[in-house]
Structure 1
Amino acid sequence: MVHHLASSEVPWRRPRLVGIVNITADSFSDGGRFLAPTDALAHARRLLAAGADVVELGPAASHPGAEPVTADEEVRRLDLVLDQLVDAGIPVSVDSFQARTQQFAAARGAAFLNDIQGFPDPGRYAELAGTGCRLIVMHSVQRQGPATKVRTDPRTVLAALERFFDRRLAALQAAGIDSERLIIDPGLGYFLGATPEPSLAVLAELHAIRSRFGVPIMVSPSRKSFLRAITGRDLADIGPASLAAELYAASHSVDFIRTHDVAALRDALTVLTALDATRGASR
């Protein structure tokens, strides 16, 4: 079981910011807004100007009730957007669990592949080893998608998380994928269960999780269901809660934060960095 590490023992590091561009018709937060390539590109540029280090393109929604999207449609949605960002030298992540979409993204120069199923097919590991992409391996209580009806004890979730990453990281590395290319995402919100407690437990153990597995960690609390459950806020008013969870994650050794609101998180991190530098200078 992961053991808690007090926050006073956790060193400060500034995470890289991953700005989300949903090229979808039904994403829970902004479905349909960036479906057209011109709109997606404009939003990607806004995120970069706001301080994003990486732009992540999501060609399909993963929330409960989202319509299935074929790999052909995912590729069509990504086509012009991915090429223009890569040609401009921008690090791009593609969020898809479909093999054909991942193959397309890797061939077109994506720097990261983000799989909400955690790359479950060992038959593809040799192919993935040859891409050179960094792989974001996500944990979920249900391997095939959001665990919308699961009400799980947080201790059970943490134990399952450990077992999953122990096995999956070992299998990927045995297939020739260097640990430096691997990033883990413990999953939050619907991916862990129908109540806030599993997500809170995972956030509380972030530093210990990273220390155990020795690879970079990404989190994405932005606009997640567990924050709305805790605060009682609607989606339109969930920005402050998202920022609080993101800052907590930043102070607990995460390497990447995937977010909808890059500007707010960048500014908050800038203030924290200045405070940390001032504290260090006064010692």
Structure 2
Amino acid sequence: MDERATPSPVGIRRPSLVGIVNITADSFSDGNRFLTAQAAVTHARRLRSDGADVIELGPAASHPGAQRVTADEEMGRLADVVDQLVAEGIPVSVDSFQPATQRFAAARGARYLNDIQGFGEPARYEELADTDCRLIVMHSVQRHGPATKVRTDPTEVCRGIEEFFAERLAALETAGVRHDRLVIDPGLGYFLGSGPEPSLRTLAHLERLKARFDVPVLVSPSRKSFLRTLTGSALPEIGPATLAAELYAARSGADYIRTHDVAALRDALTVFEALEMAKEGGW
């Protein structure tokens, strides 16, 4: 099964929906809710029934001030969950920048590896080339540790994102990673800057990013800080702003949208497509 976006009846590419399951104690969004294997699997099944094409498991938080989690701890949190979901035929992505965790996930049948540092260790590229996983290469502003707020000018941010992917994708492909295994994520929220402008500029230029690199693009505006800053909404009220950003990303050609609320986005896309069909006279 290819989880990439598929054409709708009116020619709009409906993105693949990536449902987020945080197996952490300190996620800013839902920490400690799915820390046990049973809770994580139950939530993953619910997201899948809501329309998720892929379930992404996050064994460690990445926000500023997040607890440091060792690779052994990550693997302990993931093991039973990955095994159960893979056994049920559910496509799994694992969100970790730790090499040992990535090896573990690939060996257990994960279809995607999502690295918030953008696979920053060239010595591992030949090893990555030998796996079957698709690699979600996230734009990272520093090589070691979670990304931090280091840029403020939106134009500089966009230029930096393109330079990052030009260098990183070339290096991965030179090492033998097939082009069709690569997915890029420009990063949003604190990964780009302290204010909303860099994230807004990045979302507004998704089509340019897709055209330049000719690989699928994943975005994850869900509940991000830039939306809360922009709207003045607290986390429990950020759902409408999240949905607006996700719909904009879908309209701009995002191939994957990583979200906490799969059902809301599924329904919004269904209505959006129905309206487009009516506009074209197909309804």
For normalisation by structure 1, the TM-score amounts to 0.94
Look up the SS of the partner of 2:63 in the other structure.
coil
Query: What residue identity is the alignment partner of 2:124?
Result: R
Cα deviation for residue 13 of structure 1 reads 1.2
- Could you tell me whether the CA contact under 8 Å between 1:141 and 1:193 is conserved in 2? no
- Could you tell me whether the CA contact under 8 Å between 1:142 and 1:191 is conserved in 2? no
- Could you tell me whether the CA contact under 8 Å between 1:29 and 1:223 is conserved in 2? yes
C-alpha distance after superposition, 1:35-78 (max 9, x if no partner): 00000000001100110000000000000110100000000000
Cα deviation for residue 280 of structure 1 reads 2.4
Distance (whole Å) between structure 1 residues aligned to residue 148 and residue 194 of structure 2: 7
Cα deviation for residue 281 of structure 1 reads 3.0
| Number of residue-to-residue matches in the alignment | 272
What is residue 110 of structure 1 aligned with on the other side? 110
Distance (whole Å) between structure 2 residues aligned to residue 125 and residue 25 of structure 1: 31
What is residue 219 of structure 1 aligned with on the other side? 219
- Could you tell me whether the CA contact under 8 Å between 1:95 and 1:115 is conserved in 2? yes
Distance (whole Å) between structure 1 residues aligned to residue 179 and residue 247 of structure 2: 26
Structure showing greater relative contact order (alpha-carbon pairs closer than 8 Å, 6 or more residues apart)? 1
Distance (whole Å) between structure 1 residues aligned to residue 194 and residue 73 of structure 2: 30
Distance (whole Å) between structure 1 residues aligned to residue 98 and residue 148 of structure 2: 19
Distance (whole Å) between structure 1 residues aligned to residue 271 and residue 140 of structure 2: 33
C-alpha distance after superposition, 1:225-264 (max 9, x if no partner): 0000000000000000000000000000110000000000
Distance (whole Å) between structure 2 residues aligned to residue 175 and residue 184 of structure 1: 17
Cα deviation for residue 152 of structure 1 reads 1.4
Cα deviation for residue 142 of structure 1 reads 3.3
Question: Do the aligned partners of residues 280 and 66 (structure 1) sit closer, same or farther apart at CA in structure 2, a change above 3 Å counting?
Answer: same
What is residue 87 of structure 2 aligned with on the other side? 87
What is residue 64 of structure 2 aligned with on the other side? 64
- Could you tell me whether the CA contact under 8 Å between 1:186 and 1:202 is conserved in 2? yes
Gaps (5+ residues) in structure 1?
Answer: 1-10
Query: What residue identity is the alignment partner of 1:145?
Result: P
What percentage of aligned pairs have identical amino acids? 67
- Could you tell me whether the CA contact under 8 Å between 1:147 and 1:194 is conserved in 2? no
Match status 1:195 vs 2:190:
no
What is residue 127 of structure 1 aligned with on the other side? 127
For normalisation by structure 2, the TM-score amounts to 0.94
What is residue 238 of structure 2 aligned with on the other side? 238
What is residue 26 of structure 1 aligned with on the other side? 26
Query: What residue identity is the alignment partner of 1:254?
Result: A
What is residue 259 of structure 1 aligned with on the other side? 259
Distance (whole Å) between structure 1 residues aligned to residue 199 and residue 142 of structure 2: 14
C-alpha distance after superposition, 1:68-122 (max 9, x if no partner): 0000000000010000000111100000000000000000000000000000111
What is residue 247 of structure 1 aligned with on the other side? 247
Query: What residue identity is the alignment partner of 1:162?
Result: E
Instruction: Give runs of ≥4 in structure 1 deviating > 6 Å.
Output: none
Distance (whole Å) between structure 1 residues aligned to residue 58 and residue 162 of structure 2: 27
Look up the SS of the partner of 1:35 in the other structure.
coil
What is residue 148 of structure 2 aligned with on the other side? 147
Distance (whole Å) between structure 2 residues aligned to residue 128 and residue 202 of structure 1: 28
- Could you tell me whether the CA contact under 8 Å between 1:243 and 1:265 is conserved in 2? yes
Distance (whole Å) between structure 1 residues aligned to residue 56 and residue 117 of structure 2: 17
What is residue 168 of structure 2 aligned with on the other side? 168
Look up the SS of the partner of 1:68 in the other structure.
coil
Distance (whole Å) between structure 2 residues aligned to residue 142 and residue 47 of structure 1: 32
Gaps (5+ residues) in structure 2?
Answer: 1-10
Look up the SS of the partner of 1:120 in the other structure.
coil
Distance (whole Å) between structure 2 residues aligned to residue 196 and residue 142 of structure 1: 20
Question: Do the aligned partners of residues 151 and 123 (structure 1) sit closer, same or farther apart at CA in structure 2, a change above 3 Å counting?
Answer: closer
What is residue 7 of structure 2 aligned with on the other side? none
